[in-house]
């Protein structure tokens, strides 16, 4: 229900403050209708309102009650009777609970971080102890540099050290050696078969029925990770028995072939067995120096022209039953090493010469003894005791 501002002159008179009797009579008895208003009057109400002067001059009971209700509501809000205080209390409790949970989580993270730092410190301390021990062991370890051409016996020296000082190879290590030995068989037969067509003049097969076997061997040549099946050993065995393959092997001085080729090819029947177990000696098969010299495949004078004029020294003592050609060849090689080692004129440079072979552990012990003697001489020179 609203009151129009345009009715004020009629209700309260002109601005001068006078109200006519006619207007007073009409206003006190007849209801005001919105249709009687002038065009410019602004209507805020949409219904007929019975209005009397006394209604304007004093507040209505409804307004009184409304005011009382408002005052009472204000009092209730001030006293917290409307539930606002409870809501604030609930929110405050939730905030406190959230803060407590957050603080608890933070304390847990800090504790974990502290424990992690403590554990990291322990690990770091252990690592420092290990590094210190390794450094001490490194300083106490003597290192030897083995130099030599291919197939000169570098790995053989290391293997002999295992036999002499670490009680040889255990069962697990021998099991791993089986794969290496079978690889030697594969490398040997592949190399010989491949060389048959590249040598000049080439070497033909004695039995042409083995031609498909050579094709099989050439087909597996590129594979490094190879499964050594019985089919492979059958082909390798048949080819090794072929006289043409043997003839190509006899010309091995014309191409590069591992020294142990014949040793393992002669033992294919043993190597192919599922329960095959190599011995310590098989880990480094012997290379027969005497056979190579007597076969004359590689003439020493072709590489060392001075060999044609070389004579063995007077103190040279050949082994019992040794061929003079073998004695002359081995002492020539020895003297070449001595000449190179003493060519600088440095008296601190020593060279110890021995005639030995890979499988002779007694002679290898002599080599190790000489190595210890060299190391001792070096230390004596460092402290100016020699």
- Any domain includes 38: yes
Residue 363 lies in a domain: no
Structural domain contains residue 129: no
Q: Phi and psi at residue 169, in whole multiples of 5°?
A: -105, 135
Contact 164, 368 (CB under 8 A): yes
Q: Is residue 216 part of a domain?
A: yes
In this structure, what token pair is assigned to residue 191?
A: 């190399």
What are the angstrom distances between the C-alpha of 9 and each of 34, 47, 356?
15, 20, 143
Q: Is 153 annotated as a binding residue?
A: yes
Q: What are the pLDDT digits (tens) for 130-165?
A: 999 999 988 888 777 878 777 667 777 777 777 777
Is position 151 annotated in a ligand binding site? yes
Return the C-alpha torsion angle 299, 303, 308, 314, nearest 10. -100
pLDDT, residue 93, reads 77
Rounded to two decimals, the pTM is: 0.51
Residue 239 covered by a domain: yes
- Token readout for 376 is 């001792």
Write the pLDDT tens digit of every residue in 330-346: 999 989 988 888 777 66
109 falls within a domain? no
Q: Is 118 annotated to bind ligand?
A: no
155 annotated as a binding-site residue: yes
10-residue mean pLDDT profile of the chain (386 residues): values are: 47 47 42 42 42 47 46 44 68 77 82 89 93 90 77 74 74 82 94 95 95 95 88 96 95 86 92 85 62 78 90 87 90 89 70 72 75 82 75
Backbone region of residue 153 per phi and psi (left: phi > 0; alpha: psi in -120 to 50; beta: other values): left
Of the three residues 40, 58, 76, the one that is the final residue of a domain is 58
Domain C-terminal end among 58, 73, 94: 58
In a domain, 293, yes or no: no
Is residue 184 included in any domain, yes or no? yes
pLDDT given for residue 175 in this prediction? 80
Determine the structural domain holding residue 258 and report its residue range: 170-279
Cβ proximity of 350 and 370 under 8 Å: no
Identify which of 336, 310, 335 has the alpha carbon closest to the alpha carbon of residue 325. 310
CB 352 within 8 A of CB 315: no
CATH for 195: 1.10.400.10
Task: Report the candidate in 292, 370, 359 with the shortest Cα–Cα distance to residue 330.
Answer: 292
Three-state SS at 9: helix
13 is in an annotated binding site: no
Question: What backbone phi and psi angles, to 5 degrees, belong to 32?
Answer: -85, 135
Look at the chain and report how many structural domains it folds into: 2
């Amino acid at each position: 229900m609203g009151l129009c501002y345009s009715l004020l002159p009629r209700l309260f008179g002109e601005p001068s403050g006078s109200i006519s009797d006619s207007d007073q009579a009409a206003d006190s008895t007849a209801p005001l209708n919105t249709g009687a208003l002038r065009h410019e009057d602004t209507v805020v109400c949409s219904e007929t309102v019975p209005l009397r002067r006394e209604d304007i001059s004093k507040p209505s009971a409804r307004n009184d009650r409304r005011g009382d209700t408002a005052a009472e509501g204000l009092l209730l809000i001030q006293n917290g009777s409307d539930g606002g205080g409870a809501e604030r209390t609930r929110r405050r409790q939730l905030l406190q609970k959230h803060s407590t949970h957050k603080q608890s989580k933070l304390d847990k993270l800090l504790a974990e971080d502290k424990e992690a730092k403590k554990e990291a410190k322990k690990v770091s301390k252990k690592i420092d102890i290990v590094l210190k021990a390794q450094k001490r062991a490194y300083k106490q370890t003597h290192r030897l540099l083995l130099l030599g051409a291919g197939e000169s016996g570098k790995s053989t020296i290391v293997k002999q050290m295992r036999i002499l000082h670490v009680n040889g190879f255990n069962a697990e290590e021998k099991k791993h050696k089986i794969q290496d030995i079978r690889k030697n068989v594969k490398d040997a037969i592949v190399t010989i078969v491949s060389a048959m067509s590249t040598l000049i003049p080439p070497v033909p097969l004695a039995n042409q029925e083995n031609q498909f076997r050579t094709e099989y061997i050439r087909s597996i040549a590129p594979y490094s990770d190879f499964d050594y099946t019985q089919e492979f050993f059958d082909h390798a065995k048949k080819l090794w028995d072929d006289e043409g393959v043997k003839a190509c092997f006899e010309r091995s001085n014309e191409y590069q072939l591992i020294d142990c080729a014949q040793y393992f090819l002669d033992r294919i029947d043993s190597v192919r067995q599922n329960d095959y177990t190599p011995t310590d000696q098989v880990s480094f098969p012997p290379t027969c120096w005497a056979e190579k010299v007597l076969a004359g495949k590689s003439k020493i004078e072709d590489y060392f022209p001075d060999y044609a004029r070389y004579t063995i020294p007077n103190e040279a003592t050949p082994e019992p039953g040794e061929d003079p050609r073998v004695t002359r060849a081995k002492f020539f090689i020895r003297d070449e090493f001595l000449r190179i080692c003493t060519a600088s004129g440095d008296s601190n440079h020593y060279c110890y010469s021995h005639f030995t072979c890979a499988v002779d552990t007694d002679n290898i012990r002599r080599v190790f003894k000489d190595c210890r003697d060299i190391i001792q001489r070096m230390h004596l020179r460092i402290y100016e005791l020699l």
